[in-house]
Amino acid sequence: MMSKDNILALLADHARERVAEAKMQVSLEEMKAKALALPKGDFEFEKALRKKEISFICECKKASPSKGVIAEEFDYLGIARDYEKAGADCISVLTEPKWFLGSSDYLREIAEAVSIPCIRKDFTVDEYMIYEAKVLGAKAVLLICSILSAEHVKRYIGICDELGISALVEAHDRDEVLMAIKAGARLIGVNNRNLKDFSVDTGNSASLRDLVPENITFVSESGISSAEDIDKLRSAGVNAVLIGETLMRAEDKRAKLMELKGM
């Protein structure tokens, strides 16, 4: 069982190992060339979250380090299509294979199957993963402040800009939010789950919202389970929510999303 104290370090280290293996199959130069050969994106992911009403990023996730296997039967294409039909604005796809049981294939196939933008949910530790995400069809990548330096966040946002995809910069506390702003993030996600001890507090988003300028889209992530939670976050000025486990555990995901949306 993974120690709660070193979960982020283990996830980041394993991501580096994965990248090293991937580069043996397709070099960084080859992957970069493939990504740049594709049409430049139009930042569809962040545009989808810029609307008057709160936006919904719905997650396809088979497992997590804290909860183990969440979905024994993982019909990821059916789940993604259900999310789209129920009015999701974007889809988050886990590609981390060891602890989240994700796959790059899931991302590629889902991106081809739906018309709404997808984000690659993974532990981005190398520019290779950004180019790879573009090739797989992602319209956005996740950059986690806890495992990256401010310089890396800024440089990775620049690579995303070059490709026309979005960077959702994830923060957990005041220092990381300020780091994300300084790096030039246009999308900041506050994770309500502390990945060091797995505790969840949706009030974390509300408490940090005022730090973020209005021109930056603010996303609340994790621990959101009810329409009441959504109402509180809406009142706090949150622009979008990322919901994973609550939807993945629902038998009728379309009905659950409609319920969360207050419909």
- Amino acid residing at 43: F
Helices within 210-252 (DSSP H only)? 227-235, 245-248
E strands present in the chain: 55-60, 63-64, 68-69, 90-94, 118-121, 140-144, 166-171, 187-191, 217-221, 240-243
The 10s digit of each residue's pLDDT in 169-188 is: 999 999 999 999 999 999 99
Task: Return the H-helix or E-strand segment holding 21.
Answer: helix 7-25
**Average pLDDT, rounded, for the chain:** 92
Which domain, by its residues, includes 218?
A: 4-260
- Judge whether residue 239 has pLDDT over 50: yes
Write down the pLDDT at residue 1: 40
- Judge whether residue 4 has pLDDT over 70: no
The 3-state DSSP class for residue 224 equals: coil
> For tokens 């996740």, what's the residue?
142
Write down the pLDDT at residue 3: 45
Name the residues annotated as catalytic.
Answer: 59, 61, 121, 170, 191, 221-222
- Judge whether residue 86 has pLDDT over 50: yes
- Number of domains observed in the structure of the chain: 1
- Judge whether residue 198 has pLDDT over 80: no
- In CATH, what number is assigned to the domain containing residue 116? 3.20.20.70
- Judge whether residue 195 has pLDDT over 70: no
Q: Residue 152: count other Cβ atoms within 10 Å of its Cβ.
A: 17
Q: Is the pTM of this model over 0.85?
A: yes
- Judge whether residue 196 has pLDDT over 70: no
- Judge whether residue 65 has pLDDT over 80: no
Tell me the percentage of the chain whose pLDDT exceeds 90: 73
The 10s digit of each residue's pLDDT in 100-139 is: 999 999 999 999 999 999 999 999 999 999 999 999 999 9
